[in-house]
Amino acid sequence: MPTKIDWESQIGRRLRFRDLHVFFTVVQCGSMAKAATQLGVSAPTVSEVIADLEAGLGVRLLDRGSRGIEPTAYGEAFRRRGLSAFDELKQGIRDIEFLADPTKGELRMGCDESIAAATLPPIIQRFYEKFPGVVLDVDEGDLRTYPPKVRERGFDLAMTRLRPDMNSDPFDELNVEVLFNDELVVAAGMQTRWARCRKIDLADLARERWILTAPGTWNYQIVEEAFRARGLDMPKVSMKTLSVHLRTNLLATGQFITAFPHSVLNLYARRFALKVLPLELPVRPWPVVIVTLRRRTLTPVVDRFIESAREVVKSLAPGSKARRLQPP
């Protein structure tokens, strides 16, 4: 049974910023040898730091198992709480650096591919007009990875799309701010006969070659719902992909039909000679949101970036305003 820890004598005067960094690296790597390589120190040095931490706390923090080193229950508690403290210290240093020179700093974010392809570029352009020296680290991934990465402080923020049928569980402990509501539209190349039509029935496109995202995605479900409502079978899907770059380039050949978020066509319609077809789809709000950790103080860099996002959205869609969703 662990004894009560005397903070002043056992920890307060001995725990160093470097010790936390070593501990987190060992947990992340799952090996003291790998952690030593990543930190650029010897394995005995890493072992000594961990041993000192365990001696000070009076409990074992790490266990060696078949899958490498894993935190014990004590180690996981220390990691979870220590991560917040470690992050706040790093945030404080980043704040000081930015305040000393507002043109510099760093921001880490996750972003859906379709947002990174269309909505993010004008936001970055607006942001860099004021803060050209800031380094943006953008990771294009999947909605499922964003809440954990924001919650674990791997991202300062994430920009993603919310599916209206999602529950609030993935966003527990997170702030979710709606920048704007997007919508799905059907598009084709400007040189196709469909681009010259003033009115199109969904049945007219049933035999066309479609490019869609995978079944189960919001994009696919809306198209499927539209065909089902007309008593039609889904058209033949020639390609399944999330890539905006691939879809826009193939659409420009005039051989395919696809469905895009309207925000994507705002940027790419003229560039690739594409046109939104006069076709009605089920009206479903498709919110584009910024996600941040609720109890984390944002750095000035992150605040300025979010301000730039709001400004761009307001300029692209007059009258629209960013709004916060109620906490789950």
pLDDT in tens, 258-274: 999 999 988 888 889 99
Name which residue leads in pLDDT, 9 or 47: 47
* CA torsion, ordered 241, 212, 247, 205, to nearest 10 deg: 160
Query: Which CATH number is associated with domain 101-182+286-324?
Result: 3.40.190.10
101-115, 148-162, 253-267: the lowest-pLDDT one: 101-115
Query: b vs e for 234-256, b when ≥16 Cβ sit within 10 Å of the residue's Cβ?
Result: ebeeeeeebebeebbebbbeeeb
CATH 1.10.10.10 intervals, the chain? 7-89
Task: Report whether pLDDT(301) > 90.
Answer: no
Strands of the 257-261 sheet, one edge to the other = 237-240, 210-212, 257-261, 184-189, 274-276
Range(s) within the chain of domains with CATH label 3.40.190.10: 101-182+286-324, 184-276
Tokens 């005995």 sit on residue: 44
For 69-97, what is each residue's pLDDT tens digit? 888 888 888 887 777 777 777 767 766 77
Write down the pLDDT at residue 14: 60
Q: Which CATH superfamily is domain 184-276 in?
A: Periplasmic binding protein-like II (3.40.190.10)
Q: What number is the average pLDDT over the span 104-112?
A: 88
Please tell us whether the domain made up of 7-89 is placed in CATH 1.10.10.10: yes
Residue 32 has pLDDT above 50, yes or no: yes
287 phi and psi angles, rounded to 5 deg: -65, 135
Asked if residue 311 has pLDDT above 60, the reply is yes
Please work out, in degrees rounded to the nearest 5, the angle formed at the alpha carbon of residue 291 by the alpha carbons of 167 and 312: 120
